[in-house]
Amino acid sequence: MTWTVNETHDAALLSWVQSANHPDSDFPIQNLPFGVFRRAETAEPFRGGVAIGDQILDLRAVKDRVPFAGAAEALAACSEPALNRLMSMGPAAQSQLRLCLSRALRSGSEHAAVLQADLVPQADAELQVPANIGDYTDFYASIHHATSVGKQFRPDNPLFPNYRWVPIAYHGRSSSIGTSEQRFHRPVGQSMPPGADTPVFGPSRRLDFELEAGIFIGAGNALGDSIPIADAEKHVFGMCLLNDWSARDIQGWEYQPLGPFLAKNFATTISPWIVTLEALAPFRLPFSRVGADPQPLAYLDGPADRAAGGIDIHLEVALQTTSMRDRGIPAQRLAASNFRHAYWTVAQMVAHHTVNGCNLRPGDLFGSGTLSGPSPAEAGSLLELTDGGKRTIELPNSEVRRFLEDGDAVVLRGWCERQGHRRIGFGSCRGTVLPAHPAAHPAHPAAHPASPSSPVLN
């Protein structure tokens, strides 16, 4: 299944919410992403909302004022403090709700006067993680990232032999996922300095970001049942931005032989708005393997995925230091990439994850893995941008970075645009590094480069 373009995507549609009609808005009426919010500095219950321009439409309030015919149950599910029940209802119910919202928010809608009272400015809202995330799986879907990192440790053979055949992933920690504006302490752990025979313990000195997309699962599958690739997108609710923070020095030491642990589980930041797959329909692309790369195995291949498995999502990552913030200098863009560079599609990730009978549940989250592109300017991590810390990045105020310092804020943004369609966006995904807890470590170790014998994979 792939979503098709319908009346909700009409580029001529305008909203009675005037800010949604600005050409640079992330949230025009053609988008309508879902999130969970309450008014800031209140004890109100969290509930579902839809972003429209610089406002949020309060869906709990809408339920009491305008119960949409044909979408009443889906609308009622949005009154809850997490979107899991809405996600579980499947694409037909979700699409009908989105259609009702589109019609209610259009210029000339009979509901405009009533729903005006149910708008909350985004600037006055507190947003939280939009679902109860039971499980989190992070993939490794950019061959450009895998190759770039692999060259640092295996110049003659950067990719492991299974990479082109199987979607690689690891299971992360859902309890430490936070939404945009997340602030977290620098992680501590063991690392092995080059040439040493004893590891050291202390705060990570090689803290990194990863520019990724997040994929929220909708309807799940029963334990023991697999999801065929032709049906995979029926089980996806939508997408967000995702920063899988990584302590490269800790990761390089602990990763062998079972993979990431403390280097990854301290924080993952996502953007608070979930852009539905339906909203992304105008921006789909063909998917194919090029050159000498092997074609996917049969369970990872299908005509619909070949025709439109790719998604044209522009991505960028920017950095703002404490000094930049104090001087009013905006975050500086470090790199720009695109989800179209992913080596594996969303449908392939779902099909592979369940092929052994693994049961997915509504609200489960996938990370795409670092979405680096083919050129150096499209690198989605400092590990690549600085060649493992060998080079520095100079910022507008003459500060330099190899890896992240305390106080640094990393900002991810994503958007889709195509001629004949309205630009839609994902909003901002921002996270800030705080100093390590002083009680968590006896000393602050000196910075040291990663050991070539401790490869960092993702």
Catalytic sites, residue numbers: 145
Return phi, psi of residue 384, to 5°. -85, -45
Q: Are 237 and 217 in contact (CB under 8 A)?
A: yes
Tokens 């970001």, located at residue: 209
Q: How far is CA 191 from CA 146, 188, 333, 433, in A?
A: 22, 9, 30, 19
- Measure the N-to-C terminal CA separation of the chain; round to a whole number of Å: 30
Q: How far is CA 58 from CA 55, 76, 88, 189, 281, in A?
A: 9, 12, 20, 43, 25
| Residue 149 to residue 73: CA distance in whole angstroms | 47
Within a 10 A sphere around the Cβ of 156, how many other Cβ atoms?
Answer: 5
Residues 6+ apart with CB under 8 A from 163: 140, 143, 146, 343
| Residue 46 to residue 25: CA distance in whole angstroms | 25
| Residue 4 to residue 95: CA distance in whole angstroms | 11
Query: What's the angle, vertex CA 211, arms to CA 413 and CA 128, rounded to 5?
Result: 60
